[in-house]
Amino acid sequence: MTDYEEQVKLTGVLGNRHCTMCKIHPDLREDLELTAEWRSKTDTRERIQRQRKGATSTSSGSTAQPSQTFDVVDDGIESEEEEAGLGSGDESELDPDERIHDINCFALTMPLMDIHKSLMVDILHQLLKGVMMHVLGWTQLFLLDQARNKPGTRMFEAVTHANATKKRSAKANAKVAKSIVTGIVDRRFASIPKFATIRVFQHLSKVSQWTGAEQKYILRQILPVFVPLLEEVGTPEANAAIQFIRATVDFITLAMYQSHDDNTLRYFELALYRMNQHKEVFRKYRNPKAKDDEQHFNFPKWHSLTHYVQMIRLYGCAPNWDTSHPEHKHHTYVKEGFRRTNKKNDWEDQLMEHHLRGINMLALQDILCRGPQPTLADGRERDEEPVSVGEPQPIDLVFGLPGQNRRTKKALWRPVGDIVELLGPEEGPLFRQAMAVFVRESRPHNREQPSNLDPDRVEPMDTWVNDYPVQLHHSVKCRKEHGDITDDSSTTERNIARCAENWQKGGKPRRDWVWVQEYEAPAEDGKQSVAFQGRLPVRLRLIVTVEDIGVTYAAEHDMQQGEQGNTRYSGIYCDVYVPKDPQGRASDVHGMTLIKPLPLRPHRGVIQGRRMYGLTSVYHTMHVVPVDERPQSTNKDMYINNTADWATYNFIYNEDWEEKVMRQAEESKRERMRHLAAREADARQRAKEKRAHDRAEAEKSRAEKRAIGKRSLQASISQGAPRTKKNRRD
């Protein structure tokens, strides 16, 4: 588990030129479809020996002493060239692109180990710190280019307005444009809603040193951040940029899977093919200050993508061999231990003693705390825990009122009428109507004897629920599939959906999103939730437990018994969203689904945008990102961020997505071939024009020389110079 620089020292190849695993030519590494023969330790030893012989033969007769080298152990194996008597003085062995450093690696002496096939791919340095951060920088450069050249976008308008208000030089205008685009990107990242697996970057441009965890956070939000900005540009290049970002996110996400099968490996190869076809849109941003010939993708981390499928087939999933494990141990064993020393001359001895004491304490803990270990059955019993609400909160504290904040009965329970008054004249009636429908449908006799009436029908007189006591909660605890284990879909983890008006006393509300099960099975009546298997995305507004006065306790999953024997129902009061596409399809370009809110007011006797669902309908949390983060925007559409967690990533996709993305990649390939043909034709035309221009210049120069010669001859004749043979010929 080493990074590329360490692999170069172990194998002796040329840094930034050679691949440490295969023999691909250094100038062909940018093509991800090319494969080359694997390197072997036998070839490495033989090449070093031939280089020594070639260097000795070319330096014969020189008085300079050769540099000190290490012997390469010979195991008696001769190559075909040596058997044929070739290679000792061959000039090809001195080719700079084929040379290998003269090293004495321990792995070259081990008969049962091949160092080139023992090097594993690295998610941390190759994907997260390498390709992912390159894509982040390329996309910002692309947006900066479009901000100065594409009218109609918010970036172009901001740059034009800034340049019109004050006269500046071209260099100063470029700096202003860069600062404007950076500010827009920072605002997009800062507008990302909070989520368990995502960190919100308030000032992305000010992050000076990235960690692996932060780069994972970037991976999970880069698509919903940049897609609205690129879609606003609306050019074919912007469309190709979105497809490239999506392919990159797919590749890195698949690389983090804990297990694989033939399908996931096929998705791997498809993502690699898509990246190779869509990469041309970012070519000129690879090295913006370089010439056209130097703007290429011939760098080691890019070529390493071609080895992931091979190495996973050989050694298993990539996270098991990631360098993040020894990097974390470096933090634990070195940095934390060094902080506990006195930073004097003998700090190494103090560090070792600290580690020794820690190991002894762990051993003593194992001896003293021996007992039955949890089994897989115990874990699955915990996985089957039902959805539950968190601890109740004082209602005055929830709404930020200077009331009773202690957890007394008076502070925790309030009638529905008081909650309606606290919510205000706009929101209060909607909450009361949703509460009346929720209580009516949650009663046992309605569950046991379902009717043909719409369960979401409006209650004609909802004031009867005003006296029902309720209490509010700050969270809902549910379970979510891991999703990164292909051979075990039953493994789940606990996750918490939070709902608070004043989150962490920051003055801003937090309302998480969850999936709710609207139908038992996928609807077949034309409703919009077909693609979500009967689920709907909702945003929490309140988490409520209501006590049904006059109904005795019934042992149901989401019911509890009150002090007076009344039944309690727990549920969520939420905003309901539906897919904007009638069929609920995800986008064929970026793979996310666009959703829109339902109207708030009831329509034709059915409640719409404000509803209440019981805990049995709550599925798990989800992440949703606004399309337009500007406060003055009237666009309320949202993107379902299917890259935020494994469960949503494996759930939101179209059945024909492979066919669609392959078609897009083939179109990009044809466009790239047309572009290359046009570039070659343009280069030939320029070469032809240059040759014609050179001929014309040469003819003009010869004509000027002849004219000068004639004038010189006439001047000589007029001065009486003798006529020579050359003069007579002229």
pLDDT tens digits for range 574-590? 999 999 988 888 999 99
Residues 416, 462: contact at Cβ < 8 Å?
Answer: no
pLDDT of amino acid 88: 40
Cβ contact 578:536 at 8 Å: yes
Confidence category of residue 565, pLDDT binned at 50, 70, 90: low
Rg (CA), the chain: 35
For 643-676, what is each residue's pLDDT tens digit? 999 889 988 888 889 999 999 999 988 988 888 8
Hey, how many other C-beta atoms are within 10 angstroms of the C-beta on 372? 6
b/e for 716-726, b at 16 or more Cβ within 10 A? eeeeeeeeeee
Domain boundaries, the chain: 4-59+67-117, 135-197+221-322, 388-622
pLDDT at 406 (0 to 100) = 65
**For 540, left (φ over 0), alpha (ψ -120 to 50), or beta?**
beta
CA-closest candidate to residue 108, choices 44, 185, 189, 24:
44
| pLDDT of res. 521 | 56
How much is the pLDDT for 527?
43
In this structure, the chain runs to a length of 730
| Tokens 């059955």 sit on residue | 377
Q: Whole-angstrom Cα distance, residue 180 to residue 135?
A: 20
Nearest-5° angle of CA 483, CA 485, CA 487?
120
Q: How far apart are CA 11 and CA 104, in angstroms?
A: 9
Q: How far is CA 229 from the centre of its chain?
A: 17
Residue range 70-109, pLDDT digits in tens: 344 444 434 444 433 434 444 444 566 677 888 777 777 8
Once rounded to an integer, what is the mean pLDDT over residues 514-528? 65
DSSP 170-210: HHHHHHHHHHHHHHHHHHHHHTSPPBTTB---S-GGG--S-
What secondary structure does DSSP assign to 2-62, as a single string? Answer: --HHHHHHHH-PPTTTS-SSB---GGGTT-TT---PBP-HHHHHHHHHHHHHHHHHHTTT-
Q: Residue 89's Cα: distance from chain center in Å?
A: 50
Q: What is the mean pLDDT of residues 616-620?
A: 90
- Residue pair 37/322 in contact (Cβ under 8 Å)? The answer is no
Give Cα separations from 436 to 8, 333, 462, 465, 487 (angstroms). 70, 59, 6, 6, 44
pTM for the model stands at: 0.82
pLDDT at 17 over 80: yes
Q: Averaging pLDDT over each range in 147-161, 429-443, 713-727, which range is the top one? A: 429-443
Position 230 pLDDT exceeds 90 = yes
Provide the CA 6 distance to its chain's centre, in angstroms: 26
Q: Are 485 and 500 in contact (CB under 8 A)?
A: no
CA angle 320–326–327, rounded 5-degree value: 115
How confident is the model over 141-160, as a mean pLDDT? 85
Band (pLDDT 50/70/90 cuts) for residue 381 is: very low
The pLDDT value recorded for residue 627 is 94
pLDDT on residue 253: 94
**569 φ, ψ (degrees, to nearest 5):** -120, 135
pLDDT of residue 292: 64
Report angle CA 103, 105, 107 to the nearest 5 degrees.
150
The pLDDT, as a whole number, for residue 83 is: 39
- DSSP per residue, 468-533: -EEEEESEEEEEEE--S-TT-TT-EEEEEEEEESSGGGSS--EE-EEEEE-SSS---SS-TTTTTT
Question: What percent helix, strand, coil does the chain show, rounded to 5?
Answer: 50, 15, 35
> CA 459, CA 448: separation in Å to the nearest integer?
20
pLDDT in tens, 20-77: 899 898 888 999 998 888 888 888 888 888 888 776 655 555 444 443 343 444 444 3
Lowest-pLDDT range of 387-391, 509-513, 575-579, 621-625: 387-391
- Determine the Cα–Cα distance for residues 217 and 215; give it in Å rounded to an integer: 5
| Cβ–Cβ under 8 Å, residues 458 and 433 | yes
CA separation for the pair 526, 583 (Å, rounded): 8
> Which residues, in sequence order, are CB contacts of 113 under 8 Å at separation 6+?
41, 107
**CA 90 – CA 6 distance, rounded (Å):** 30
Q: Is the pLDDT of residue 486 over 80?
A: no
Q: What is the DSSP string of 54-86?
A: HHHHHTTT--SPPPP--PPPP-S---HHHHTT-
Percent of the chain at pLDDT > 70 equals 83
Q: How far apart are CA 661 and CA 668, in angstroms?
A: 10
> CA distances (Å), 657 to each of 69, 169, 271, 590, 644, in order?
56, 48, 12, 11, 19
pLDDT band (50, 70, 90) for residue 488: low
The pLDDT-based confidence of 724 (bands split at 50, 70, 90) is low
Q: Which residues of 654-673 are buried (b: 16+ CB within 10 A; e: fewer)?
A: beeeeeebeebbeebbebbe
Q: Supply the pLDDT for residue 278.
A: 93
Q: Tell me the C-alpha distance between 546 and 564, whole Å.
A: 13
Q: What is the dihedral of CA 222, 224, 229, 233, to 10 degrees?
A: 100
3-state SS assignment for residue 717: helix
- Position with higher pLDDT, 468 vs 501: 468
